[in-house]
Amino acid sequence: MQSHGAQLIDGKALAQKIQAELAQQIQSLQAQYGRPPGLAVLMVGDNPASAAYVRGKEKACTNVGMASFGQHLPATTTQAELEQIIQALNHDERVDGILIQLPLPEHLDGVALLNQLDPDKDADGLHPVNLGRLVRSEPGLRSCTPAGVMELLKEYQIDPKGKHAVVIGRSILVGKPIALMLLEADATVAIAHSKTPDLASVIRNADIVVAAVGRPEMITANMVKPGAVVIDVGINRVTNAEGKSRLVGDVHFDSVKTVASAITPVPGGVGPMTVAMLLQNTVWSYIQRHQGVQQAP
């Protein structure tokens, strides 16, 4: 197979496998704990892309037998109103995971809202406490997209140990947490970004490339070392001359797949894993909370 180009890393298939395992786990735990795990996705306004993502998350919730406490709020919702909703969910015994769907309308302070979350219910793993736990290699809720990337590497038996990994992008959502996770897995990690001089030469040294910059098809075959593993986290909508739009990643898939040893497609690569990890985080939090109750004197 290798002679025809890179092995395809199928995130959709792995996400389905994880969801099937979670559904079984939830069934047995629900009998033990007397309730299903609960996830609350908060969406403000009517961004069509966000609405599609939220629908996907809520459908996945139902599929695995999880209770959904999602709220779709008008764009005019104030910071104070949202903070009240978050506090109520923090105290709601039925809710194990809370997610604030980004982007939020301009007038809202997303960081301040995120900081209001109970860190142990932070389903997206973005609260400063959870990022701190990641830095210290302590157990905790991990950022969904990077955690999904690590699961894909594990599933395809790509061990980062001793490998040179280059992460392109330094966002708190993907770039920084994935760099920390690769470091934890004993890779030597470099983080590159828009201000990195001669980006191509930095990428060309990498055994594992993680692209998370949000620039359509910027990474081309001549930038990739032959045999490298390429993980494309980017999701960009591009429109051709006829006005037809399609989704592409940060990697020029057709050219890079001829030099890489393994590559994720867009769509169908990292994307589906994000939702699978969100569900996995919620179940983890559900188990922790019940064990905590059982272990308490």
Q: Are strands 229-232 and 208-211 parallel, antiparallel or unpaired?
A: parallel
285 is annotated as contributing to ligand binding: no
pLDDT digits (tens, 9 = 90+) for 156-194: 999 999 999 999 999 999 999 999 999 999 999 999 998
171 is annotated as contributing to ligand binding: yes
- Return the CATH number at 73: 3.40.50.10860
Are 176 and 92 in a shared domain?
no
Residue 8 lies in a domain: no
Are 148 and 204 in a shared domain?
yes
Residue 288 has pLDDT above 60, yes or no: yes
pLDDT digits (tens, 9 = 90+) for 80-129: 999 999 999 999 999 999 999 999 999 999 999 999 999 999 999 999 99
Residue 253 lies in a domain: yes
Confirm whether 101 is a catalytic residue.
Answer: yes
**Domain enclosing residue 196, as ranges:** 143-270
Residue 19 lies in a domain: no
Are 110 and 229 in a shared domain?
no
pLDDT band at residue 4, thresholds of 50, 70 and 90? low
Catalytic residue among 96, 124, 207, 250: 124
Residue 7 lies in a domain: no
pTM for the structure as a whole: 0.94
3 is annotated as contributing to ligand binding: no
Structure tokens at 21: 């395992």
How many domains does the chain fold into? Answer: 2
Catalytic residue among 101, 163, 257, 280: 101
Confirm whether 96 is a catalytic residue.
Answer: no
Residue 185 lies in a domain: yes
182/250 Cα distance (integer angstroms): 20
Confirm whether 57 is a catalytic residue.
Answer: yes
Alpha-helix runs per DSSP H in the chain: 11-33, 48-64, 79-91, 110-116, 128-135, 144-155, 175-184, 199-203, 253-256, 271-295
235 is annotated as contributing to ligand binding: yes
